[in-house]
Amino acid sequence: MTSFATIFRHAIRSSAFQRVVQKKDFCQTYHREQCTICPAIDLKYKDEISVKEKSFLEFWKKNNLSGSPEKIVFSPLGRAYRTVSKRRVFRGKGGQVLLGLTDISESGWVKPVDVKVCPIEPASHASIYNYVQQFIVSRDGRALADVLSHVIIKGSYDEYWIIFNLSDLPQPANSGLNRLSKNMSKEFKVIAGLFYTIEEQSKYYLSDKAQANFKKLFGKDEIFQKACERSFLYSPLAFSQTNSSIIDLMIAKVSELMQFNKEELLYDLYCGYGLFGLCAAKEVKAVTGIEISVSAIRSAVQNSKRNKIDNIRFVAENVTASSLKKIFPRESKQELVILDPPRNGTNVGVIEFLAERRIQKALHLFCEVDLIPQELKRWTKNGYHIKRVVPLDMFPATENIETMVLLERN
């Protein structure tokens, strides 16, 4: 299968659109190397969307998918949009410690990219990462550098929560971490909370094991989010959308596609802190949200109480065929499903279970374009057809998009 990234990058190289930004102005590292993570960064945003729409349509046709993708929903912020970002700690042969983005070289090797400013992030993200970089190469920060794996920023465009992901926390590193925390809380007024978690070193910047070892260093415990005229608070450990500027458009599109009514039961799979389910609750008879993260479910329950919504319940379970069998009632009724699974997609048997239930409508969200063909094949094989396909530009400048696919029974 030809990947969407390959199609998109080729289309950019072949396009005649004017380059409005020199990549070296933003995407150059301190060592004067070029970051290639965002292939469309030097295009005007409307030109990028044009290329992305054509590339997505080509991807759809190459994979012989039915239906026709609609126009891409623009992101309100085409640049400086990320409300979740991260840096990985790279260690050189000479003991050098570098905080950088992860890029893939032409030879396929993972390489660090210590960009001065990343244009898809707010400028203050770069200032925070640079501050941490300077600390971990100083005498006071060396012990911390030995155990630091990732630094993550989450939050809004006004407030940030910082998470330090560590492999261990011996006393010298703990002293350095406390010193860094105090310094950062004074230096950056936008920082609303600082946390750390301890887990084994891995390619993932947070894992399930991070839950039990999550500790606060400073500030507020929860992140604030306003959406669909409701107020949400959620744990920094809970999944949150990368691009907060597009969330309200996304929620409105969910309502438009699903056409909810008061007789239907909605199941919000991979519900996170309850965003979709709580926004839809007033339009349906009842909602059940299912999510593996205990921290996210705890936030979702509190959000339902905060917004005085009583026709919703939340279950802390991994989304599998066996768990769904226990959660769904014995008899199938007027049931709808929203699925917003992680990048690697649904577990084996999940789609098949939902098809066997004869779910009336399923809205399947994809944050990984290349996963769409194999997941949709499972739906169509089990008696469903594609009703509408709506791409949203959740990740401007990059080689990916969010996609909503509405499926109905044949």
At 104, is the pLDDT very low, low, confident or very high (cuts 50, 70, 90)? low
Residue 371 DSSP symbol: G
DSSP 211: T
Residue 332 has what pLDDT? 76
Given this model, what pLDDT does residue 37 score?
86
Partners of 193 in beta bridges: 161, 219
In this model, does residue 20 exceed pLDDT 80? no
Higher pLDDT, 155 or 330: 155
User: What's the half-sphere exposure (Cβ side, CA atoms, 13 Å) at 374?
Assistant: 11
**Angstrom distances, CA of residue 204 to CA of 87, 107, 148, 233, 294:** 11, 22, 13, 24, 19
Mean pLDDT over 347-360 rounds to 96
Q: Among residues 373, 378, 342, which one has the least CA distance to residue 362? A: 378
Given a cut of 90, is residue 155 above it in pLDDT?
Answer: yes
Is domain 84-221 classified as CATH 2.40.50.1070? Answer: yes
Instruction: Label residue 270 left, alpha or beta by phi (over 0 means left) and psi (-120 to 50 means alpha).
Output: left
| Of 340, 373, 376, 371, nearest in space to 355 by CA | 376
Outline which parts of the chain fall under CATH 3.40.50.150: 237-409
Share of the chain above pLDDT 70, in %: 94
Asked if 69 contacts 57 with a C-beta cutoff of 8 angstroms, the reply is yes
Residues 100 and 192: their CA atoms lie apart, in Å, by 23
- What are the structure tokens assigned to 7, written together? 């199609």
Burial class, 9, CB count within 10 angstroms (exposed 0-12 / middle 13-18 / buried 19+): middle
pLDDT digits (tens, 9 = 90+) for 25-38: 677 777 777 788 89
pLDDT at 353: 97
- Residue 281 pLDDT > 80, yes or no? yes
Looking at the chain, the whole-number percentage of residues with pLDDT higher than 90 is 80
Look at 341 and 107; give whichever has higher pLDDT.
Answer: 341
Mean pLDDT of 86-108: 77
pLDDT at 209: 67
- Residues facing 290 on adjacent strands: 269, 315
- Residue 393: in which H helix or E strand, if any? none
Query: Within the chain, which residue ranges are assigned CATH 2.40.50.1070?
Result: 84-221
Query: What is the SS3 assignment for 145?
Result: helix
**Mean pLDDT across the stretch 386-396?**
98
Superfamily covering domain 237-409: Vaccinia Virus protein VP39 (3.40.50.150)
Q: How confident is the model at residue 113 (pLDDT cuts 50, 70, 90)?
A: confident
**Bigger pLDDT: 315 vs 93:** 315
Whether 132 shows a pLDDT value over 70: the answer reads yes
pLDDT reading at 112 higher than 90:
no
Give 267-278 pLDDT, tens digit per residue: 999 999 999 999
Q: 185 vs 34, which has greater pLDDT?
A: 185
Please tell me the predicted confidence (pLDDT) of residue 202. Answer: 54
Digit-coded pLDDT (tens) for 210-221: 677 899 999 999
Q: For residue 306, give the 3-state DSSP assignment.
A: helix
Q: Kindly report which listed range (129-133, 187-191, 212-216) carries the lowest average pLDDT score.
A: 212-216
Q: Which of 301, 258, 310 is nearest to 281 (CA)?
A: 310
